[in-house]
Structure 1
């Protein structure tokens, strides 16, 4: 595998971190456990559970306002080879945050990157696309078309 440039590595890592965060906990745990002989990770921080403030803008460009709070879990781990992985997950699942941080650290290691992409990131993104397609099909099945009949007087 060729070494990616800084820009492509940054984009790829963001894509992978997004996949780890959006994956259902059961699917992430299944894919994580399937990675045999993965190096151990030492905890650096957490997993911690806390709150973040959600902010919005009226119309996309108006004044910012506080929408509410959301629970998040975060974790950071370090591999023996030096890579540090971070994760922040919506919800109160510290174990999922720890797994996602470990996967992030493994993704940064050139020896593991291709395997993480193939065995974790790609299946998670495919499962998310399937779920979105199923939801769109369910929504389309309940669609109601309204129309107006002209009375011919015009």
Structure 2
């Protein structure tokens, strides 16, 4: 193996969860968190923000042969803070500003000084998503129909 190749470290589950929440955060939530940040670091773009397509693959029954399901529009951005942290943001859709802000908060989550603000943002996003899922489950339950079979006697 070439000594120049960098060994990849295993993914950090906490960061993976945070990036998932940042991808589902609204633009208003991200803008409000950025505006509330007292000590804003300088942000330098590394890549994007840009919008493109990715191929979505599926498997029949979850374990069959893979097939191309179709394409999905995604936006992504990579930034570097003036303090050296690099952040990535990826999300479905065409909102480049959301991708850029998600990348900024990903980088901020790696700084000890901003971890509290980022965790507060992630908590608000998780709470909103939980409420939306609960509301959707209640709406679905309200339209649920229970079917039963009646057994008729011999006439």
TM-score (normalised: structure 2): 0.88
Shift of residue 36 of structure 1? 2.7
Pick aligned residue for 1:62 from 43, 61, 64: 64
Greater helix proportion = 1
Pick aligned residue for 1:107 from 106, 109, 116: 109
Shift of residue 26 of structure 1? 2.5
Shift of residue 50 of structure 1? 0.4
Shift of residue 11 of structure 1? 1.6
What secondary structure, in the 3-state scheme, does the structure 1 residue paired with 2:97 have? helix
Shift of residue 16 of structure 1? 1.0
In structure 1, the gaps of 5 or more residues are 1-5
**In structure 2, C-alpha distance between the alignment counterparts of 1:70 and 1:150, rounded to whole Å:** 49
Deviations 1:62-119 (A, max 9, x none): 111000001111101111110000111110000000000000000011221122112x
**In structure 2, C-alpha distance between the alignment counterparts of 1:36 and 1:124, rounded to whole Å:** 20
What secondary structure, in the 3-state scheme, does the structure 1 residue paired with 2:76 have? strand
Aligned pairs (5 A) from 1:95-134 = 95-118=97-120, 120-134=121-135
In structure 2, the gaps of 5 or more residues are 1-8
How much is the aligned-residue C-alpha RMSD, in angstroms?
A: 1.6
Deviations 1:20-79 (A, max 9, x none): 001222223223322232212111110011000000011111111000001111101111
**In structure 1, C-alpha distance between the alignment counterparts of 2:93 and 2:140, rounded to whole Å:** 26
Alpha-carbon contact 2:26-2:98 (below 8 Å) kept: no
**In structure 1, C-alpha distance between the alignment counterparts of 2:130 and 2:30, rounded to whole Å:** 15
**In structure 2, C-alpha distance between the alignment counterparts of 1:65 and 1:145, rounded to whole Å:** 35
**In structure 1, C-alpha distance between the alignment counterparts of 2:52 and 2:13, rounded to whole Å:** 27
Aligned pairs (5 A) from 1:67-86 = 67-86=69-88
Residue matched to 1:150: 151
**In structure 2, C-alpha distance between the alignment counterparts of 1:89 and 1:110, rounded to whole Å:** 25
**In structure 2, C-alpha distance between the alignment counterparts of 1:35 and 1:146, rounded to whole Å:** 54
